[in-house]
Amino acid sequence: MRYVSTRGGMAPATFSDILLGGLAPDGGLTVPEAYPTVAPAELASWRGLSYPELAFAILQKFADDIPAADLRALMDHTYTVAAFRTEAITPVTPLLDGVWLLGLSNGPTLAFKDIALQLLGHLFEYALLQTSGHLNILGATSGDTGSSAEYAMRGKRGIRVFMLSPYQKMSRFQTAQMFSLQDPNIFNIAVRGVFDDCQDLVKAVSNDAEFKARYAIGTVNSINWARVAAQVVYYFKGWLAVTERDDQEVSFAVPSGNFGNICAGYIAKRMGLPIRRLILATNENNVLDEFFRTGVYRVRSTEQVAHTSSPSMDISKASNFERFIFDMVDRDPAVVRALWRQVDAQGYFDLSATPYFQTVRESGFVSGASTHQNRMNTIRRVYEESGIIIDTHTADGVKVGLDYREASVPLLCLETALPVKFEDSILEALGRPPECPAGYEHLEALPQRFEVMNPDVAAIKAYIARHAG
Ligand SMILES: *Cc1c(COP(=O)(O)O)cnc(C)c1O
């Protein structure tokens, strides 16, 4: 399996070559030269596999340059009951008639990003041990991604994490999650400012090529290919859990921001998984819903991004979208380059009058947007009918999923976080707080370890230089 860039300017590379990188050198995203396929007989043979076994069977197709025994060991060490609190890793629970919840939020930070990032932690450590290298991960977070990255990288040899967050602006739960980590390789930097200041600082440090190379600065953002590949696994796991016939179609409803999660669903479909519809749900920040309805991909400015009660989907653009568009334009990198040139210059592109939009319409995607009121109503309805409390992001997916439900097709709704992370919204919807999973009750009382700093590039660089591996 070799990987190329969506913009055509990268020599074909292996999985290990692209593992630690972010953008391709030409500014594009890395994608497989061709998707691996899973024949019906092979799919049928996967019934009964444990999560780590299934993950190995699928990841082996993408990471064929990692020795099989090593890859198997990585899966066994990642997808454990200790890390995910359940043998199934991604359990399926009946929600409504013909509708299931695919539980993706049982990892250490109680959100679906753990499924990919926990693997990334093990993969990075493995790759760095092979080369005796080290890596200093620099990131900015307003909550979820940062804590998921820290829990993935804590205690990993060769890796240090420098995570910038806005001082006193995250929820108490999120703050406690990150700042209570006592691992010596995790550095929490609380910046006197807002999230955008943190992001600007990361950009400023990363733009200093000499500093970046000297301190082996890396990232773990959502465009990392290994993250997408790891997410393909649970689409297969969900399908296997609710079907009996090997050609039975199911639909998936996915709350979407950066198009990372649902991109993996699209790839699973391309590999041969019988998926009928990929139902994409946005919140009020409806960049992707607009595209699937009209063919216009229009990014928003920072000021245009609404702060919603499903905050992990408050995006101005969808960073993984270029992978999908690459396929829709017949994998012609010249077309991709032209489209993103137009995004950079004019803030949008429009496929509606091109034959490519017909390809989009045939891709299996449908979409919708959900509002605060929709989320509240959906959380209430699901609770009344099933006794299950879902979080606000999951509720966006369920809302739009139900709009597109077909009677004879099982619908799997992806649960992207546990409700305890968004207690205020649950109180508003139900008048009662969500349950706190065992082990998380005293999180906010734990001692916290963090450094408060001004939004000063030189000071941040000096701090990294003092503590880098
Ligand atoms: C990140 C996140 C999403 C959006 O996932 P994308 O891969 O960015 O589309 C949805 N829900 C939760 C809880 C998240 O943390």
Quick one: DSSP state of residue 247? T
Of 220, 308, 319, 393, the residue with max ligand 1 atoms within 8 A of its CB, to mutate for a pocket test, comes to: 393
Residue ranges making up the domain that contains 338: 92-109+231-430
421 Cβ inside 6 Å of ligand 1? no
259 Cβ inside 6 Å of ligand 1? yes
416 Cβ inside 6 Å of ligand 1? yes
Inside any domain, residue 99: yes
Q: How far apart are CA 301 and CA 204, in angstroms?
A: 20
Helices (H), 91-171: 113-131, 144-153
313 Cβ inside 6 Å of ligand 1? yes
C-alpha distances in angstroms, 443 versus 109, 178, 436?
A: 12, 10, 10
Inside any domain, residue 327: yes
Inside any domain, residue 422: yes
Inside any domain, residue 37: no
260 Cβ inside 6 Å of ligand 1? yes
Inside any domain, residue 147: no
Of 221, 232, 313, the residue with max ligand 1 atoms within 8 A of its CB, to mutate for a pocket test, comes to: 313
Of 312, 320, 390, the residue with max ligand 1 atoms within 8 A of its CB, to mutate for a pocket test, comes to: 312
Inside any domain, residue 74: no
Inside any domain, residue 403: yes
Inside any domain, residue 97: yes
375 Cβ inside 6 Å of ligand 1? no
> By alpha-carbon position, which residue is closest to atom 15 of ligand 1?
312
Q: What is the pTM of this model?
A: 0.96
Identify which of 44, 75, 202 has the alpha carbon closest to the alpha carbon of residue 136.
202
288 Cβ inside 6 Å of ligand 1? no
> Total domain count for the chain?
1
Q: Are 254 and 269 a contacting pair, CB within 8 Å?
A: no
Q: Which atom of ligand 1 is nearest to the CA of 260?
A: 7
**Going residue by residue through the chain (469 aa), what tens digit of pLDDT does each one get?**
999 999 999 999 999 999 987 788 899 999 999 999 999 999 999 999 999 999 999 999 999 999 999 999 999 999 999 999 999 999 999 999 999 999 999 999 999 999 999 999 999 999 999 999 999 999 998 877 899 999 999 999 999 999 999 999 888 888 999 999 999 999 999 999 888 889 889 989 988 989 999 999 988 888 999 999 999 999 999 999 999 999 999 999 999 999 999 999 999 999 999 999 999 999 999 999 999 999 999 999 888 989 999 999 998 899 899 999 999 999 999 999 999 999 999 999 999 999 999 999 999 999 999 999 999 999 999 999 999 999 999 999 999 999 999 999 999 999 999 999 999 999 999 999 999 999 898 999 999 999 999 999 999 999 999 999 8
105 Cβ inside 6 Å of ligand 1? no
Beta bridge partners of 96: 99
* Active-site annotation holds for 113: yes
Q: Which helix (H) or strand (E) holds 96?
A: strand 92-96
Tell me, in angstroms, the distance from the centre of ligand 1 to residue 417's CA. Answer: 8
Q: How far apart are CA 89 and CA 81, in angstroms?
A: 7
Q: What is the pLDDT of residue 196?
A: 81
- HSE value, Cβ hemisphere, 13 Å, CA-based, for 348: 14
How many CB atoms are located within 10 Å of the residue 98 CB? 14
Q: What is the CATH number of the domain that holds 355?
A: 3.40.50.1100
Q: How far apart are CA 19 and CA 366, in angstroms?
A: 31
Q: Which atom of ligand 1 is nearest to the CA of 231?
A: 7
Q: What is the pLDDT of residue 70?
A: 98
Q: Which atom of ligand 1 is nearest to the CA of 148?
A: 15
Q: Are 2 and 331 a contacting pair, CB within 8 Å?
A: no
